[in-house]
């Protein structure tokens, strides 16, 4: 853990690490996606959901990533706020658009599954509503950063907002147990073992690993971009003197 | 066997996959473009700054 965090304290080491890690993770993501899609489209129809079960192979990973990326955003914001680590702030800034897209895709694909299965695009149940709130936290984080001209003040305000939004993460996770929801309860990690058959679980896990690797690759790329942006700003300031 | 005929649910399934592909592709392209744009700008400005520092350092 200490070793992993050391990258946050040393931009040079981070740039050297990410230069080879990002393409490696990107290649891994594409390979896992190819395997996951192949198995997903060779799996039989579900006895209840029919062919719409194939939407689960992209909906569930997007939803998991929406939550996971928010934890990354919150962790990086905490390090940025408490320890004033510039690279942690770059990591938080880089994570937000990725998490927003994953969460947006979870909402959209869930809606496209809900219409044929539930007969409605949307219901205001606890799971769907809390995921919508998660999506709004991502948007608010990016809007707040963009709205404040002083970059340091904007980063601090956005980090506080990100930490406040962490309260919503357990609400999303346990909403299906705390309240009666139209959204089904936990299936993959249900108490007593998964309630899904392996023929669906394997492509689901492959796609989830693909999304995770893809996020890792793009997060590193975005943090690298942020480091370059700050180096450009520093060089510009030197030239202006 | 590969089943690419989702029958009556085709519209929902292909729209979901199309949206996901478009969203993820946009993320990849925008992330790479963002990093490339700032890398070029930083390298160009740092080269200029180093040049000016060099001129200033040898009167």
Query: ipTM of this predicted complex?
Result: 0.90
Structure tokens at B59: 């009167």
Cβ atoms A71, A169 nearer than 8 A: yes
Put simply, whether A225 touches B (Cβ < 8 Å) is yes
pLDDT score of A220: 97
The verdict on a CB contact (< 8 Å) between B20 and A109 is yes
The verdict on a CB contact (< 8 Å) between B24 and A50 is no
Please give the share of chain B, as a percent, with pLDDT higher than 70. Answer: 90
Secondary structure string (H, E, C) spanning A99-121: HHHHHHHHHHHHHHHHHHHHCCC
Please give the share of chain A, as a percent, with pLDDT higher than 70. Answer: 95
Tally DSSP H helices, then E strands, for chain B.
Answer: 1, 0
Structure tokens at B25: 């592709």
Q: Find chain A residues with C-beta within 8 A of B12's C-beta.
A: 52, 55, 112-113, 115-116
CA distance B53 to B45: 12
* pLDDT tops 70 at residue A114: yes
pLDDT score of A4: 60
The verdict on a CB contact (< 8 Å) between B42 and A238 is no
| Alpha helices (runs of H) in chain A, residue ranges in sequence order | 2-9, 11-42, 53-83, 86-118, 126-147, 151-165, 168-178, 198-240
Candidates A28, A228, A233, A238, partner chain B, best to mutate (most B CBs within 10 A): A228
Mean pLDDT on B30-39: 97
pLDDT score of B57: 46
* pLDDT tops 80 at residue B2: no
Structure tokens at A209: 């690993």
Three-state DSSP at A50 gives: strand
Q: Find chain B residues with C-beta within 8 A of A101's C-beta.
A: 23-24, 26-27
First to last CA, chain B: 77
Task: Choose the closest CB to A229 out of B1, B19, B38.
Answer: B38
Task: Choose the closest CB to A231 out of B12, B35, B46.
Answer: B46
Put simply, whether A50 touches B (Cβ < 8 Å) is yes
| Burial track A127-153 (b if 16+ CB lie within 10 A, e otherwise) | bbbbbeebbebbebbbebbeeeeeeee
Q: Find chain A residues with C-beta within 8 A of B41's C-beta.
A: 228-229, 232
Angle at A163 between CA A104 and CA A165, to 5 degrees: 40
Nearest C-alpha in B relative to A220: B31
CA neighbours closer than 13 Å in the CB half-sphere of residue A2: 0
Candidates A58, A94, A118, A203, partner chain B, best to mutate (most B CBs within 10 A): A58
Q: Which of A39-53, A136-150, A198-212 has the lowest mean pLDDT?
A: A39-53
Residue A59 vs residues A13, A85, A114, A136, A207: alpha-carbon distances, Å: 35, 34, 11, 18, 10
Task: Choose the closest CB to B49 out of A50, A105, A238.
Answer: A238
Return the CA Rg of chain A. Answer: 20
Please give the share of chain A, as a percent, with pLDDT higher than 90. Answer: 76
CA-based nearest residue to A109, from A65, A145, A142, A151: A65
Please give the share of chain B, as a percent, with pLDDT higher than 90. Answer: 63
* pLDDT tops 50 at residue B58: no
Task: Choose the closest CB to B35 out of A113, A225, A239.
Answer: A225
Q: Find chain B residues with C-beta within 8 A of A121's C-beta.
A: none
Ramachandran region, residue A84 (left: φ > 0; alpha: ψ -120 to 50; beta: rest) = left
* pLDDT tops 70 at residue B56: no
CA distance A207 to A174: 23
Candidates B11, B34, B54, partner chain A, best to mutate (most A CBs within 10 A): B34
């Amino acid at each position: 853990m200490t070793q992993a965090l050391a990258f946050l304290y040393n931009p040079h080491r981070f740039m050297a690490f990410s230069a080879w890690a990002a393409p490696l993770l990107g290649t891994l993501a594409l390979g896992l996606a190819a395997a996951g899609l192949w198995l997903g489209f060779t799996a039989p129809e579900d006895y209840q959901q029919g062919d719409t079960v194939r939407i689960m192979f992209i909906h569930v990973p997007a939803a998991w990533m929406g939550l996971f990326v928010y934890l990354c955003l919150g962790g990086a914001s905490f390090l940025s706020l408490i320890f004033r680590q510039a690279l942690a702030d770059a990591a938080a800034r880089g994570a937000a658009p990725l998490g927003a897209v994953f969460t947006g895709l979870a909402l959209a694909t869930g809606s496209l599954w809900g219409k044929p299965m539930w007969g409605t695009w949307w219901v205001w149940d606890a799971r769907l509503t809390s995921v919508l709130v998660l999506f709004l936290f991502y948007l608010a984080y990016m809007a707040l950063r963009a709205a404040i001209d002083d970059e340091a003040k904007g980063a601090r305000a956005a980090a506080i907002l990100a930490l406040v939004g962490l309260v919503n993460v357990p609400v999303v996770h346990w909403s299906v147990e705390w309240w009666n929801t139209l959204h089904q309860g936990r299936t993959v990690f249900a108490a007593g073992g998964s309630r899904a058959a392996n023929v669906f679980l394997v492509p689901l896990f492959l796609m989830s690993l693909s999304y995770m690797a893809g996020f890792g690759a793009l997060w590193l790329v975005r943090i690298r971009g942020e480091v370059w942006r700050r180096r450009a700003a520093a060089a510009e300031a030197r030239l202006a003197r | 066997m590969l089943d690419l005929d989702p029958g009556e649910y085709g519209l929902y399934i292909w729209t979901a996959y199309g949206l996901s592909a478009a969203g993820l592709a946009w993320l990849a392209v925008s992330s790479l473009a963002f990093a490339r744009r700032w890398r070029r700008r930083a390298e160009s400005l740092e080269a200029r700054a180093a040049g000016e520092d060099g001129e200033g350092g040898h009167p």
